[in-house]
A = this chain, B = another copy of it.
Amino acid sequence: MSDSKPAQETKPETWRERLYEIIFEADTHAGKLFDVVLLIAILLSVLVIMLESVESFDDLYDFQFHIAEWFFTILFTIEYVARIICARRPLRYVFSFYGVVDLLSILPTYLIFMESDEMQRLGVIRALRLLRVFRIFKLGHMLTGASELRHAIWTSRSKIIVFLTTVLIAVVIEGAALHLVEGSVEREPGVENGFDSIPQSMYWAIVTMTTVGYGDVTPVTPLGKCLAAMIMFFGYSLIIVPTGIVTAELAHSGSKMDPSLISTQVCPECMREGHDSNATFCKFCGSRLN
């Protein structure tokens, strides 16, 4: 990205540039260490929130959970302030997706502290803290391969929309059909008829077409079972379509991006790209390649 001034980059002059390199980048040793420590802190804090929601744990370790929660909140607050200080455009960071996530993952603890004990019971605010799990994506530059995946899904988006539209239309029609067939069938007392409205039947259709199949709602009439069997076959066949789409896209992008097949070198004469990696001469003008 900034390969124009490598000398300046490797020797940061101010402490802000140094801090920026540690927090936002992962090229230096300190930057990598920071990422790993942050990852562990995020995972541990998520674990604490998860365990806190288990009543039997919360009764036993209420105090420890509070300590841990405050420790992580202060840690993330320091990190948040440091990011604002060293960011080249602080406002842009604050209103970016990750800036909002960073803020939302520390704010709830302060809100609960400031407000009454009553509010602490509000699950929504407590649950908001779990948004810090999204911060893991920020460390995405530690992973290669994510960009290729995103690219494959992005280029397949029009086909995926066609697929999802088809599935949703199918769900509406199937839900209506099963509602007609099963909606007025009497069940045993205490057993709810899961087809008594079209939205309910659509829930069943989605559970069936995605092959999840809870079994909380099942058809009981022969005609309903017959329709259900056909819907299952249809859902079973449908999964092959998006699979094929993304696979074909990945196979395609993979073969194009594979460095062993297409080199990134540019012909020094005609400045054209796309030569095979084993080519010795430019296939466009015949000049010798480097």
**Interface positions of A (Cβ within 8 A of B):** 46, 49-51, 53-55, 123-124, 127, 130-131, 133-134, 136-137, 140, 143-146, 148-149, 152-153, 156, 158-165, 167, 169, 172-173, 176-177, 179-180, 183-184, 196-200, 202-203, 206-208, 210-216, 218, 222, 225-226, 228-229, 232-233, 235-237, 239-252, 254-256, 258, 260, 272, 274, 278, 280, 283-284
Contact = CB atoms under 8 A, between A and B. Distances in A.
A1 B252 CA distance: 30
Given A198-B53, A210-B232, A274-B278, A176 B222 contact: no
B176 A127 contact: yes
A177 to B, nearest CB: 8
A130 B46 CA distance: 36
A218 B214 contact: yes
A193 to B, nearest CB: 11
A160 B244 CA distance: 14
Contacts of A134: 169, 173
A30 B251 CA distance: 40
B250 A245 contact: yes
Contact of A165 (B53, B136, B246, B248): B136
A243 B245 contact: no
Contact of A215 (B172, B211, B216): B216
Contact of A254 (B149, B196, B206, B248): B248
The 4 A-B residue pairs whose C-beta atoms are closest, nearest first, are A212-B213, A214-B215, A145-B158, A244-B247
A90 to B, nearest CB: 27
Contacts of A214: 213-215, 218
B127 A180 contact: yes
Contacts of A180: 123-124, 127
Contacts of A137: 169
A247 B239 contact: no
26 contacts: A46-B172, A54-B198, A55-B196, A123-B179, A124-B180, A136-B169, A145-B158, A145-B162, A167-B233, A200-B225, A203-B228, A203-B229, A206-B233, A208-B212, A210-B211, A211-B211, A212-B212, A239-B240, A239-B243, A243-B247, A244-B247, A244-B251, A247-B247, A248-B251, A278-B284, A280-B284
